[in-house]
């Protein structure tokens, strides 16, 4: 007779765990799990849920996670501290992520309500990109004198005009980062060309685009970089020598490998 039929509570049997990974690496002990998580907490002040499974079963991933997070998010590169947190504010708003750590940093670096309002305005503008993309793809022939790309740029200019304490460069970078997070190739193209036209540093563009990987996934950076690559290859943007060198390399889409595998 089953436990359900007798009313006896089901026995709780812990899942079986292998003693080691396939390469022979021992599975972390409970003490090692706690030590790894507490070490992170001592440095960052918090522990996130995804770090638990990594610490308990995937120590190599946990180590890589820490290195990647530091290099991508924490290390200072090209964006000034408040500039970076302004970009993060728009990105997180678009991604629908709380990002309390970045909210704290925004305020710690002197972020104002007026700057926050500008970041929110940009996030909402990014959310509306699909309307312009639809116009470009379906209605452009009906409105030949209203170019969708130009209208989008003019709307951006009107949107950010007079934003208190927010340089135009910040707005361009926030637009690019948020468009990358939204995975809108049309929007990324508009943001990249706008950044070039306004003289924004390519290095800052790369940093702003890259951080979208963290809240929005690696493919957000992959796809946005693909848009950038095509713009450079086609000569539609005045790329620097370093970026032209990148674009000159062949076979950057994996299609040759796919063709070989299919034969």
pLDDT of residue 3: 55
Residue 80 to residue 63: CA distance in whole angstroms = 27
User: Which CA distances in Å does 149 have to 63, 157, 191, 209?
Assistant: 43, 13, 10, 20
pLDDT of residue 1: 53
pLDDT of residue 20: 85
pLDDT of residue 10: 72
pLDDT of residue 149: 93
How does DSSP assign 90-141, residue by residue? HHHHHHT---HHHHHHHHHTT--HHHHHHHHHHHHHHHTHHHHHHIIIIITT
Residue 179 to residue 129: CA distance in whole angstroms = 9
Over residues 26-57, the pLDDT tens digits come to 889 899 999 999 988 888 788 888 899 999 99
The answer to whether the beta carbons of residues 190 and 179 sit under 8 Å apart is: yes
* Eight-class DSSP state of 13: P
Residue 48 to residue 12: CA distance in whole angstroms = 27
The answer to whether the beta carbons of residues 185 and 133 sit under 8 Å apart is: no
pLDDT of residue 2: 54
Q: Which residues of the chain have pLDDT under 70?
A: 1-8, 16-17, 254-263
Over residues 107-148, the pLDDT tens digits come to 999 999 999 999 999 999 999 999 999 999 999 999 999 999
The structure's pTM equals 0.86
The answer to whether the beta carbons of residues 170 and 206 sit under 8 Å apart is: no
């Amino acid at each position: 007779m089953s436990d359900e039929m007798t009313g006896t509570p089901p026995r709780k049997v812990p899942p079986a765990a292998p003693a080691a990974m396939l390469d022979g690496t021992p599975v972390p002990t409970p003490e090692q799990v706690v030590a790894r998580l507490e070490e992170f907490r001592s440095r960052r002040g918090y522990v996130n849920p995804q770090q638990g499974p990594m610490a308990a079963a995937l120590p190599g991933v946990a180590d890589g996670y820490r290195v990647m997070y530091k290099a991508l998010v924490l290390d200072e590169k090209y964006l000034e501290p408040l500039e970076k947190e302004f970009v993060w504010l728009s990105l997180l708003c678009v991604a629908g992520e709380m990002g309390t750590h970045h909210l704290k940093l925004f305020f710690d670096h002197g972020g104002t309500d007026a700057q926050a309002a500008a970041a929110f305005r940009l996030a909402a503008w990014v959310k509306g990109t699909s309307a312009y993309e639809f116009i470009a793809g379906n209605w452009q022939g009906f409105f030949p004198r209203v170019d969708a790309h130009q209208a989008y740029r003019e709307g951006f200019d009107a949107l950010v005009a007079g934003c208190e304490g927010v340089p135009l460069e910040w707005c361009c970078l926030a637009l690019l980062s948020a468009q990358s997070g939204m995975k809108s190739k049309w929007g990324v193209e508009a943001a990249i060309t706008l950044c070039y036209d306004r003289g924004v540093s390519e290095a800052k563009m790369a940093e702003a685009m890259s951080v979208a990987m963290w809240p929005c996934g690696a493919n957000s950076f992959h796809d946005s970089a693909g848009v950038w690559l095509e713009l450079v290859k086609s000569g539609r943007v005045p790329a620097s020598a370093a970026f032209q060198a990148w674009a000159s390399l062949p076979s950057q889409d994996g299609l040759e490998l796919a063709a070989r595998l299919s034969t």
